[in-house]
Each structure stands twice: as C-alpha cells, then as structure tokens.
Chains A and B, each alone.
Chain A
Amino acid sequence: MSTRLARGGRLIDRSKPITISFNGRRMPAFLGDTLASAVLANDQMMVGRSFKYHRPRGIMASGAEEPNALVGLGAGPRFEPNQRMTTTEAFDGAETASQNHWPSLEFDIGAINNKFSRFLPGGFYYKTFMWPRSFWKNVYEPFIRQSAGLGKVPTDRDADRYEQAYAYADVVVVGAGIAGLTAALGAARSGKRVIVLEMTPACGGRAVVDGFAIDGQPAEGWVAAAVDTLRGMDNVTLMTRTMATGLYDHGYLMAAQRIADHTPGDGRPKQRLWRIRTAEVITATGAIERPLSFAGNDIPGVMLAAAVRDYAVNYGISIGDRTVIVTNNDDAYRTALALLDAGLTVPAVIDARPTVTGALPQAVRDRGVRVLEGRGIAKVHGGKRVTGVEVCVQAGEGAMIEELGCDCVAMSGGWSPVVHLWSHCGGKLLWDEARAMFRPDANRPPLGADGRGMVRAVGAANGMLTPDEVLTDAHAAFGDGTAPQTNAPDEARMEPVWIMPQGAGPKLRAKMWLDPQNDVKVSDVQLAAREGYESVEHTKRYTTLGMATDQGKISNINGLAVLSDALHQQIPATGTTTFRPPYTPLTLGTIAAEARGEIFQPLRRTPIHEWHEAHGVEWEPVGLWRRPFCYKRAGETTHAAVNREVRNTRTNLGLLDASTLGKILVKGPDAGKFLDMLYTGVMSTLPVGKCRYGLMCNEQGFLSDDGVVVRLSEDSWLCHTTSGGADRIHGWMEDWLQCEWWDWKVYTANLTEQFAQIAVVGPNARKVLEKLGGMDVSKATLPFMTFAEGQLGGFNARVFRISFSGELSYEIAVPASEGRAFWEKLIEAGQEFGVMPYGTECLHILRAEKGFIMIGDETDGTVIPQDLNMAWAISKKKPDYLGKRGQERSFLASPDRWKLVGLETLDGSVLPEGAYAVAPGVNANGQRNVQGRVTSTYFSPTLNRGIAMGLVKHGPDRMGEVLDFPGDGGKVHQARIVDQVFYDKEGAKNDA
C-alpha cells in the first residue's frame, strides 16, 4: 500500500495538517502536498479510468506530464473538471472526484470494453461509425457524445475572477531548475531585464531531489542562494506557480500564473494570464522521463522512476514497501538510492543493458541490491494494483526467468527534452543519435522580428542530462568565468529500448500501453502502419496517440519509435508531430479574464440612454450601441407598442433618438472633389445650406452605405452615415485620402459622438418646434432638404429638414452634453401635440411603408444601386467615382438582375423574412429554381396588412404578377408584385 513515511518530505509542512476528500472519502494531508501526493499518502493508488477500455488508472508521474490523474475539483460555482492532481496544490477542504466511470471508480460497467479490446483496435472509430449512414445521427453520435469527454462541464457561473497583465523583458527564462537559475543569474548580471517563470511553487527542478552538491554546497542550499540573489536584483522578476504556455511571433510569450488556485475564495484573482513581450527566451524547461513499453505497464503502481523518488523525497511518500526498478539508463538508480535511504526495499533493478558498470549502479549494488543485466519485464501482475513482475531476457520473446513480488514498478526509458516552447514558433529539432532524443537544433531556432533567433534552449531542455553538462550549457548562455561544478558521478550511456522484451509477440504487444489516457497500445500503432498510415501525423489521428489532455508528453516518443520500426525506417525519417500551444491546458477563465458579463464589450450609450431606460425601453443592439427597439407601456406587448408608435407618429408626433447616426465632417479645398469620388452622386455642387441624399459604393460597385450630406459652408460638408457604418466609412475615407489621393487637401473628423440628434416627426412636428421658439422653421424659410443653425428653445441647434418616414420631419442636432435636456424639453413641449418616443422597429416600418431602402436589409454586399431602382442617385456626367468601373462589368449591367419591388400578400398576412420566390423547374443540384427574395417585411399598422419589399428578376416589368414564397411547414405564401411605395405615394404628408 502507498503511505506517508514517518520522516522526509522537503515540500510538506508537517506542522500544518489539512484534510481533502476524494470521492467523498476524507483524507489527512499536509500543506505543501499536491492532490496526487495527498491521495497517495492515503493508499489511493487508483484515481481514474482510461478513456476507451475503462481500465483502472493510477498516478504515473509527478508533474505536468501526468496522463491519468485528472479529477473534478471543487463544487458548484468553483467546480473545475480535468484538474491534474500532480500539479494541483492541495488545500484544506479540497473536494475531488474521479472521472470517466459509471457507476463507481471501483466498479465500472464500461470496463466491459476491456474484454472486447480485440474488437476495438486502432482506427476503431473510423471503421465502425462509417455505415450505415442513417445510424450516424441516431445511434453513433449519441453513443460517442455520451462516452466522449473526460470530466463534467461545470453548470454554475464561475465564482472566481481572472485577470490579464502585460510585461516586457530583455530575457525571459522559462524554468527555475539549476539550468534556468544559472542562465538567469548570467543574464541579470549583464544588466538585462529578466523575468524568470517557474511552473511549480518551489524552484530547483530535479537537482534538489537528486541531492548532489554544487560548488561544494548541497543543491538545495545552492538553489536557495541563487533564488535569493535573483530576488534581490531590481532588474529581475521571478514568478513561481507560473506556466509559460505558449510562444508566439515576435517574442510574444503567454504565461498563466496560479494565484488563488490553492487558496480559493480569499478574494484574490484565481489566475492571471501574462502577455509578455521579450527580445529573447531561454527555455530551461528540463526533460520528461519516458516510460518503457512492457505488457501491463498501465497497471496502477507502475510509475516513472523519477516520480517515485519525487514522492519519496519531496512529500515523504512510499508508493509501496517493495519497488522493482526497470531501466535502460543510470539515472533510475537514483530512485533505488532514494528508496533505500527512506528505509524501503528494492527487490531488484532490471536493466535492459547487457552490461551495467556505471558509478550509480555500483552504489546500488554496494547496498546489496541485485542488478539484473540484459533483462526486461515480460509482464506485470495485478489488476487494480501491481502485485509482481515476470523477469525475462530483454533480447528474447518474453519467457519468464523469475517472478518478483512487488507493490510498485519504477520505470525509466530515458529522458526527452521539453522542446514545446522551442517548437511553438517554428524552432526545428534534430535527432541526437547518441542520446536517442530529439533536441533543439541551435542552427534553426524560432526567428524574431529581426530575422534572428529569439530562443535558446539550455540544460536538459537542450538535451544535456548530467548535472555538469547542464550547468556548463546554461552558464554559456550569458556567463563568463567558469560554470558551477557538481560532484555528481558520470553516467553511462543509455540504450534505447522501445519495446520490452525486444522480441515480444502479439499477445504481449497488445498489453503494452503507449498512451494510457487514450488507450493506445504498441499493437495499435503497428496496425496503423500495416494499414498504410505512414505519416506520423496520420497515425496520431488514426490511433488517437497523444491526442488526450496530456498531449502525449510521455507517449509520443515511444509511439513514433514503434512506428519507425514498423515502417523499417530511422526515427528522424518519421519525425515528430507538431508541438502546439498551450503546453498545459489553460482555463477559459484566464483567456476571457475581465471581459465577461457587462464588460464583455464596451457599451456605447447615446446622451439620452438613461431616459430610455427609465421609460420602458426594449433595447436593440446596433454595433456596440444600444438603440430603443420600442417603449413598452404597462401590460403592453412589444407588437402592440410598435403599432402604437407607428400610428401616433403618422397622426400626431413622434421623437426618435437618432444620435447613433454617423456624422463625419469633411473639410478642405479639395473636399468637394473628394466627395464626388466617394458618392455616386455629385456633392461638390450642393449649395451651402442644402442637403442631398447620397450613396457610397465599394470599388466592386456594390452599395455600401447611404445617408444625407449637408453643405455646411464653402469648404465643409457633413456626411451622415448609417449607425453601424460610421467608423467603417470614416476609415474608408482615410484609406483613400492617405493611400491614393494623398496630395488632396482634405481633412475628415468623425463627430458622431459630439452631437445628440433627435428626429421630430409627424404632422405636429412644426408646431412643437414653433412652440420652443427661436428659429423660423416654416415651410417657406426652411423647405425640404435644407438646414439652418440657430437657437431653438434656448439650445444651440442645427435643424435639418429631412425625412426618413414620409412625414413632416426635422432632425435636430445639439451638443451631446445637452442632448438629454433637449429631449426632455421636446417631450414636455410636445405633450399637447400627442408626443411619444418611438424606437427602431417603428422607424423601419415607417420607412418600409414609404419604400425607402435600408442598408443591410435591401443590401447584402452583392447589390448595386441600379438593382434598387436608384439610378437617379448616380451621376451620369462624372468621369469617375468609387465603384463606377466595377458597375460597368457585364454581369452587373445585365438586364436579368433581380430588382427591387413592393410585395403584397393576397391574404394580407406578413411574408416570412428572407423567403424566396420559386420559379418553375430545378437547378443542377435538384433544388427548385428561384426568381426573387424578400428583403424587408413588416406588419403595417397604417395599412393594417403585411407589406414587404424584395428583389425579383425583371421585377419592375412584372407589376401585378403573383409569386409563390414557400414558408415553414409546407405553407406557400402568395404575394403580388406592386409598387414599393405603399403609403402617400404623392408625398403630400412630407410636403406639409
């Protein structure tokens, strides 16, 4: 059984006991434990089930590479699935629950898959779920959905807050082991601004566990001194609990800092995402130990050798009394020594190498431990827990030589440098034959903005594995003088072992796990190779090797070695799969940070926003603005409110907050010439004091925006744009002025937010303005399409006599700061004239009744003004305007284009939005032919019937024809083609 030793544990504080729970069972632990060490202290070896076969899964590792130990942590609004127990700090009261089993961890129905594993080989999903096609929706997909996905999705809103921060550095050192600390000291002493990122709460990496001496003092003391030195320097920032998750272009490094993960609810942000720009990155990210592929290597109790010693040294944990060590290198012997030091037994070290002569093995032999040379493990005994191993000859086929009883198997297949950050941004790897590893190719680093390398790998991350190699390499990054020296012994060469034993038959290979989380075995990869999956990227997807949440940190190298062997090629010819960020999963909370809820997006408010809010408004989002859709009275439906607003505006007086309308000032000696290029019509000839409606097209000729242009003075025009178009059109103007006609003397300014604008609309519009007094707004002085400036009711006002409703209408702009007061003044003065505010839906109905187009309804980026019967707004005389050449293209000049008409249903109902008019016959795809579509459709309270506009082939030539518009549920709506102006065709009301 796994248990806590009486002594030891450099990271735990035995004076601070805490309690956590696992699947409801309360477990004592200490501050400083990870969730993994906490449950191991309580003999909880099995912590989950595998994805496919639901086999028992135990903790294998002690860090970020852990494939199995994922739990749901917390409850309610603090519940998080898939927390990696080996990297999650334990805290008092932590509730954890295992995943991927039903009904319980101990007894899992899904484990039946294990019995059928013969029928669930690599590529099973692709082979099985292909046919019959009709099964996909009703059988396969629900089945996959139910079984897919480890962990449960949280159901509550996250109670925590997250933040993001920016930082800048000359050098970021990733990893605070002895390599990172050495490089950081060198960089800091040369005066550079240095940030050091360490993913765990403590610094020191492997050295403090392995326990050699550096420059004569124990590694732990050397590390503490180095950390103190760095912390004391003004140009250094050292952050622990901070994971560098990804490196991106031009030195952009992302790092996730855990702040209150281990102290939930203490008021601090849970995590902080750092966005760091740095001139250079030093990756001192160490190496990850490789598992060995022998039958039963997934049984709980089989662990990585270094993890077994981490648990003993760092947390005072015994995985079991008897640990068999199996290895192909000298480093694993350190685990034997650590266990012996802790008073535990090592029945034997099984070493695949034919002769073992190194200093570390000798030290183990000296303590009376058998070293079995040239041997391997044929098979592990046990179900939910290791009970023993069968020893065989590594060079053979797996015949048992002897059986060893044990509670733990500590395996080591050598080490793989952590090359993720190096690779994220294009750094290349080389295959180091002598060390049997992929490591960074210093000649092909990731490139920065200047085209030069921006990353250097040092220490184990660079493939240097012995302590002296590591320190020499890291010191060379910045240092002068001599590198720190250690007393660590030399290590003999490792020998690559990709399967154990070398000649294992199919039966054994089908029990050798490569990827324990996704259940990919040696036999699956070999099958993929036989079936023709020669590319490592294809094999990965076919078998799901390395596609689990650990992204194959421990499994990929063995997998591609097995694939290479099956393809009879060298490992570098197979290559690696692509390393993509993030290194470990980022919680969505850090990515969103403060951008959630009300501040997800900035909200633009008109000066009258709060008044609307206090008067029953129903909002409609328009870009970042909120515009009133309508104003509801007590007990009123939305539909009734809209109809009331329309009727009132047609008969009395309506007020619209039009402040969101774009207002762009165009000024200068060449402003007229510029506007003539921008608009399809002529604006340069517009007399001062007059208004003119204008259309803007893009260079392809398609209608892009519309609005009223006002000639303010000899050299100034005010261009109104649509509410959503203001910023876009201003950018469009600047693009042409800066990049094409840069010698034209024109200045533009987006004044949209400088003014509040209110449309005063209806038969009583003039009366209310006359009541306010101060300006002559009579028909004679201020006729249609003119404007005047003056004092209206004491407000500085610009009064435009324009109409988007067909009613007598004024749009009045006042300084934004006075918008609310002016609106309230109009409401008050308008009482005797039946004033009511109206919203955007009423605006739409009023304009549709008059047949006015709306950008975004009648246009969709493929419509030209000519389609909308607006040739009258296009100058024939101008030699050029933006879009003119585009409109000359043959298909835009075709008489067969769909053109705008009015549509009136035969039964008075409202046509469905976007409905298509069908034509006889079918197209090449067997779909019904179409001859038109609805662009705007409303219920008109004025006419008490549905009205619509649409684009119809040869539409204006087909007045009176009835078209079929199929709708939902087989219903066919019939509508007659009519004139697009439904109301007041002669324009008498506007002209009042």
Chain B
Amino acid sequence: MLILECPCCGVKAEETELAPGGEAHLKRYGPGSSDEDFDNYMFARANPKGVHFERWRHAYGCGKWFLAARCTATLEVFGTYPAQTTEPPAELQAYIKSRRPEWEGYK
C-alpha cells in the first residue's frame, strides 16, 4: 500500500485513493507515424526493475494526474511532480542519482 504525495493538492495519498496510469513521458504517435513508432507508443513499456517514472491520478482526491519516480524493486519513492512536464525535473534526477548511483539516468 503505497503512499504518494499529490503535487497538486499536497495530500499524502494512500494507494486506495489513487488510480495508476502506467509509464510516464510516453510520446504520442498519431496518423502518419510508422508502424514501429506507433507500436512502441501503444504497447512497448520499459518495465524496469529499479527506477521508474509513472503516471498516477489522485482519483478519489483532487482528481489531478501527476507523475511519480519510484523504485519498483524496493518501492522507495524518489519524488512526485506535476504531469505537465516532458521529462523529470533536474533536481529529482539528481536526487535519484544520489540514491541510485548505478542508475543510467533518464533516457
């Protein structure tokens, strides 16, 4: 039962208040894209053991989507941040690096 702090309303939300939304920072491929790009967008997921960026919705709270950086192996939460970003904030990336020196970094 995870606890994630919603960056929108500040509530430390229990997992039962949240709805998961899968991997974050996917780039949408629409009409005109190659089969490979569309296939990757639609179906291919990193599913790492370790640092993972993911989407959550504070479904039974403020209703807002947000993003979380989490270790899938230990469930350590490195941080949460607003959904309106194209990549994790620099300070968060630095913090993850300090906690997981072996992490290859974002992208």
Binding site for B on A (CB under 8 A): 248-250, 252, 277, 426, 447, 449-451, 699-700, 731, 734-735, 738-740, 742, 879-880, 884-886, 888-889
Digitize B31-52: 1 where CB-to-A-CB distance is under 8 Å, 0 elsewhere: 1110100100010000000000
By Cβ-Cβ distance, the 6 closest A-B pairs, closest first, are: A451-B76, A252-B1, A742-B84, A738-B65, A739-B83, A250-B3
Instruction: Let me know if B57 and A248 touch, CB within 8 A.
Output: no
Residues of A within 8 A of B21 (CB): 735, 739
Residues of B within 8 A of A884 (CB): 30-31
Instruction: Let me know if B30 and A885 touch, CB within 8 A.
Output: yes
Residues of B within 8 A of A731 (CB): 19, 57, 59
Residues of B within 8 A of A739 (CB): 21, 55, 65, 83-84
Residues of B within 8 A of A735 (CB): 21, 57, 65
Residues A885 and B38 in contact in the complex (CB < 8 Å), given A451-B76, A734-B65: yes
Instruction: Let me know if A885 and B31 touch, CB within 8 A.
Output: yes
**Which of B2, B32, B63, B74 interacts with A734 by CB under 8 Å?**
B63
Q: Is B29 an interface residue (CB 8 A)?
A: yes
Residues of A within 8 A of B65 (CB): 734-735, 738-739
Identify which of residues 64-92 in chain B touch chain A, using a CB-to-CB cut-off of 8 Å. 64-65, 71, 74-77, 83-84
**Which of B3, B19, B77 interacts with A277 by CB under 8 Å?**
B3
A114 CB to closest chain B CB, in angstroms? 46
B56 CB to closest chain A CB, in angstroms? 11
Residues of A within 8 A of B31 (CB): 879-880, 884-885, 888
Give B19's nearest chain A residue, CB to CB.
A731
B13 CB to closest chain A CB, in angstroms? 11
A34 CB to closest chain B CB, in angstroms? 33
Interface of B is mostly: loop
Q: Is B107 an interface residue (CB 8 A)?
A: no
Residues A451 and B74 in contact in the complex (CB < 8 Å), given A249-B2, A885-B33: yes
Known: A250-B1, A735-B57. 10 other contacts (CB 8 A): A249-B75, A250-B3, A449-B77, A699-B28, A731-B59, A734-B65, A879-B31, A880-B30, A885-B31, A886-B38
Give A740's nearest chain B residue, CB to CB.
B28
Instruction: Let me know if B84 and A450 touch, CB within 8 A.
Output: no
Residues of B within 8 A of A738 (CB): 64-65, 83-84
Give B4's nearest chain A residue, CB to CB.
A449
A953-B76 Cα distance, complex, nearest whole Å: 51
A739-B22 Cα distance, complex, nearest whole Å: 12
Residues of B within 8 A of A880 (CB): 30-31
Residues of B within 8 A of A742 (CB): 83-84
Residues of B within 8 A of A450 (CB): 76-77
**Which of B1, B33, B84, B99 interacts with A249 by CB under 8 Å?**
B1
Which size bracket describes the interface of B in this complex?
20 to 34
B14 CB to closest chain A CB, in angstroms? 8
A700 CB to closest chain B CB, in angstroms? 6
Instruction: Let me know if A889 and B30 touch, CB within 8 A.
Output: no
A812 CB to closest chain B CB, in angstroms? 30
Give B1's nearest chain A residue, CB to CB.
A252
Residues of B within 8 A of A277 (CB): 3, 14
Instruction: Let me know if A451 and B99 touch, CB within 8 A.
Output: yes
**Which of A447, A740, A886 interacts with B76 by CB under 8 Å?**
A447
Residues of B within 8 A of A252 (CB): 1
Instruction: Let me know if A248 and B1 touch, CB within 8 A.
Output: yes
Residues of A within 8 A of B64 (CB): 738
A988-B55 Cα distance, complex, nearest whole Å: 51
A812-B92 Cα distance, complex, nearest whole Å: 52
Instruction: Let me know if A250 and B2 touch, CB within 8 A.
Output: yes
Residues of A within 8 A of B71 (CB): 451
Residues of A within 8 A of B99 (CB): 451
Give B24's nearest chain A residue, CB to CB.
A739
A248-B15 Cα distance, complex, nearest whole Å: 12
**Which of B3, B28, B30 interacts with A449 by CB under 8 Å?**
B3
Residues of A within 8 A of B77 (CB): 449-450
A884-B76 Cα distance, complex, nearest whole Å: 39
A888-B37 Cα distance, complex, nearest whole Å: 13
A700-B39 Cα distance, complex, nearest whole Å: 10
Residues of A within 8 A of B1 (CB): 248-250, 252
Instruction: Give me 9 A-to-B residue pairs in the complex whose CB atoms sit less than 8 angstroms apart, sorted by A's number.
Output: A250-B2, A449-B77, A450-B77, A731-B57, A740-B28, A879-B31, A884-B31, A885-B29, A888-B31
A449-B13 Cα distance, complex, nearest whole Å: 12
B76 CB to closest chain A CB, in angstroms? 3
A320 CB to closest chain B CB, in angstroms? 48
Give A730's nearest chain B residue, CB to CB.
B63
A644 CB to closest chain B CB, in angstroms? 43
A172 CB to closest chain B CB, in angstroms? 15
A400-B73 Cα distance, complex, nearest whole Å: 55
Give A880's nearest chain B residue, CB to CB.
B30
A208-B57 Cα distance, complex, nearest whole Å: 52
A252-B83 Cα distance, complex, nearest whole Å: 27
A287-B1 Cα distance, complex, nearest whole Å: 28
Instruction: Let me know if B75 and A447 touch, CB within 8 A.
Output: yes
B65 CB to closest chain A CB, in angstroms? 4
Give B37's nearest chain A residue, CB to CB.
A885
A95-B101 Cα distance, complex, nearest whole Å: 62
A731-B64 Cα distance, complex, nearest whole Å: 10
A734 CB to closest chain B CB, in angstroms? 7
Residues of B within 8 A of A426 (CB): 74
Give B84's nearest chain A residue, CB to CB.
A742
Instruction: Let me know if B75 and A449 touch, CB within 8 A.
Output: yes
**Which of A250, A449, A740, A886 interacts with B42 by CB under 8 Å?**
A886
Give A738's nearest chain B residue, CB to CB.
B65
B3 CB to closest chain A CB, in angstroms? 5
B17 CB to closest chain A CB, in angstroms? 13
Residues of B within 8 A of A249 (CB): 1-2, 75
Give A884's nearest chain B residue, CB to CB.
B31
A734-B59 Cα distance, complex, nearest whole Å: 11
A135 CB to closest chain B CB, in angstroms? 43
Instruction: Let me know if B74 and A700 touch, CB within 8 A.
Output: no
Residues of B within 8 A of A451 (CB): 71, 74, 76, 99
A879-B33 Cα distance, complex, nearest whole Å: 12
A247 CB to closest chain B CB, in angstroms? 10
Residues of B within 8 A of A740 (CB): 28
B98 CB to closest chain A CB, in angstroms? 11
Residues of A within 8 A of B29 (CB): 885
A248-B14 Cα distance, complex, nearest whole Å: 12
B24 CB to closest chain A CB, in angstroms? 8
Instruction: Let me know if A700 and B83 touch, CB within 8 A.
Output: no
Residues of A within 8 A of B30 (CB): 880, 884-885
Residues of A within 8 A of B57 (CB): 731, 734-735
Residues A889 and B75 in contact in the complex (CB < 8 Å), given A250-B3, A451-B99, A742-B83: no
A884-B59 Cα distance, complex, nearest whole Å: 28
Give B75's nearest chain A residue, CB to CB.
A249
Residues of B within 8 A of A885 (CB): 29-33, 38
Give B33's nearest chain A residue, CB to CB.
A885
B37 CB to closest chain A CB, in angstroms? 9
B104 CB to closest chain A CB, in angstroms? 18
A248-B75 Cα distance, complex, nearest whole Å: 11
A703 CB to closest chain B CB, in angstroms? 17
Instruction: Let me know if B75 and A250 touch, CB within 8 A.
Output: yes
Residues of A within 8 A of B42 (CB): 699-700, 886
B7 CB to closest chain A CB, in angstroms? 12
A734-B31 Cα distance, complex, nearest whole Å: 22
**Which of A449, A699, A700, A879 interacts with B2 by CB under 8 Å?**
A449
A392 CB to closest chain B CB, in angstroms? 51
Give B76's nearest chain A residue, CB to CB.
A451
Residues of B within 8 A of A734 (CB): 57, 63, 65
Give B83's nearest chain A residue, CB to CB.
A739
Give A743's nearest chain B residue, CB to CB.
B84
A882 CB to closest chain B CB, in angstroms? 9
A252-B3 Cα distance, complex, nearest whole Å: 9
Residues of A within 8 A of B35 (CB): 889
A729-B71 Cα distance, complex, nearest whole Å: 31
Residues of A within 8 A of B75 (CB): 249-250, 447, 449
